[in-house]
Amino acid sequence: MATQSIKVDSKEFEVKQYDFPTQQIPRLNYQDPKAEKLIENGQPVILTGSDLVGSAYHWDLGYLCSNLGSGKYTVYSSPDGKFKYYDEKKLPQNKSFKPPTSNSEMSFQDFASKLRKRDSKEFIYLQQSLNDTVGKRIVMDFTNFNWGWANETQKRNRWGPLTSNLLLVGMEGVITPAHYDEQENLFAQIQGYKRFLLFDPNQFDCLYPYPIYHPHDRQSQVDFDAPDLKRFPNFANAKAHEAIVGPKDVLYLPMYWWHQVESLHGHGETISITFWYKAAPTVKVVYPLNDGQKIAIMRNIEKMIAEALNDNDSMPQFMKTMVLGRYT
Ligand SMILES: CC1(C)c2ccccc2-c2ccc(C[C@@H](CC(=O)O)C(=O)C(=O)O)cc21
Ligand SMILES: [Zn+2]
């Protein structure tokens, strides 16, 4: 895989090179009116100086081992370093589906010692919502997040409620392949560096998501390392935005924006915390609809048709019959 080196803040990073062009995402101080404008317009921006998780800047493996208590944590494991999320609730509808990753519950101490062993034939990625099983010092760090700013941002942009904070601890080199989420996300980086490749929701027709009843719903079918341009010809027109997110950075990752995330080599394991918010309620429909609203409509139509047919195997034929040759 070809790599290219990019410079951010006088630091050099070796990143995988893909075929599509990339443009940099702006890095702005969190109080810059331009940054607030970008968030209001649902545009990604890296925010500096917010100290959103300032009370967790000292979190490293050792501290977490000593203070996360003996609770069990969900650890994903992948042979090739790719962690393609799948929805376990959709497995019954897809008998032939083979999960590309496995997961197990283990103590943080066990996870940390597996990380240190670094046997590279297995990549591991801890993903766990912060809950009350954690030790009291972690709870104190959590309560000391910059909630004033987070709540003000949530209110100003009329986001819905905060749904979860996920603690993520990834081995160098882990990759979360391209997908989109249906929530607004303030992504806070504590340790290590993550490279985000983001795609505007209007690139939906370049990224070919799985059918919505598929366990990989919301994930792109395109393998970025070996794109099948016969099946996915429009991928050749994809245009990415790029952001290297480092310690103390907060990336505003707007709902419906596609993202692929790589934990960069040479900077140690990555520690991140996500703040997911439900979407702003649509008070009054304003035309023309924005791209996110069109994605929501497509998803609802797919769900209704799948339900009406009550047979996922007949979806491909039905969908093709409905549009092929008619909406050219
Ligand atoms: C891959 C993993 C560990 C996973 C496995 C199984 C179920 C869910 C998830 C899940 C959810 C979120 C992330 C964080 C981030 C990607 C990144 O930082 O790697 C991202 O996509 C986002 O913040 O929206 C990572 C994961
Ligand atoms: Zn995501």
What count of residues does the chain have?
328
Q: Which atom of ligand 1 is nearest to the CA of 126?
A: 3
Reported pTM: 0.96
**Nearest CA residue ID for atom 23, ligand 1:** 274
Q: Which atom of ligand 1 is nearest to the CA of 174?
A: 19
Query: Ligand 1 centre from 176 Cα, in Å?
Result: 6
Q: Is the CB of 85 under 6 A from ligand 1?
A: yes
Whether residue 133 contacts residue 105, with contact meaning beta carbons closer than 8 Å, is answered with no
- Per-state percent for the chain, helix, strand, coil, to nearest 5: 30, 30, 40
Neighbouring residues of 41: CB distance < 8 A, sequence distance ≥ 6: none
Q: Is the CB of 261 under 6 A from ligand 1?
A: yes
Considering every ligand atom shown, identify the ligand nearest to the alpha carbon of residue 261 and give its number.
1
Query: Ligand 1 centre from 127 Cα, in Å?
Result: 7
Whether residue 306 contacts residue 315, with contact meaning beta carbons closer than 8 Å, is answered with yes
**pLDDT score of 308:** 97
DSSP states of 11-46 as a string? EEEEEE--SS-EEEPPEEETT-HHHHHHHHTT--EE
Q: Is the CB of 186 under 6 A from ligand 1?
A: no
**238-272 confidence digits (pLDDT tens):** 999 999 999 999 999 999 999 999 999 999 999 99
Q: Is the CB of 276 under 6 A from ligand 1?
A: no
Considering every ligand atom shown, identify the ligand nearest to the alpha carbon of residue 83 and give its number.
1
**pLDDT score of 120:** 60
Considering every ligand atom shown, identify the ligand nearest to the alpha carbon of residue 189 and give its number.
1
* Distance separating alpha carbons of residues 247 and 17, to the nearest angstrom: 23
Distance of alpha carbon 138 from the chain centroid: 24
Among 153, 188, 183, CA closest to 277: 183
Q: Please, how many CA atoms are within 13 Å of residue 230, restricted to the half-sphere of its CB?
A: 0
What are residue 252's DSSP bridge partners? 45, 186
* Distance separating alpha carbons of residues 57 and 247, to the nearest angstrom: 8
Q: Which atom of ligand 1 is nearest to the CA of 176?
A: 19
Tokens matching residue 291: 């791209």
**pLDDT score of 119:** 67
Q: Is the CB of 76 under 6 A from ligand 1?
A: yes
**Nearest CA residue ID for atom 7, ligand 1:** 85
Regions in the chain scoring below 70 on pLDDT: 119-120
DSSP states of 245-305 as a string? E-TT-EEEE-TT-EEEEEE-TTS--EEEEEEEEPPPP--S--SSPPHHHHHHHHHHHHHHH
What are residue 62's DSSP bridge partners? none
On whether ipTM exceeds 0.85, the answer is yes
Q: Is the CB of 30 under 6 A from ligand 1?
A: no
Query: Ligand 1 centre from 216 Cα, in Å?
Result: 13
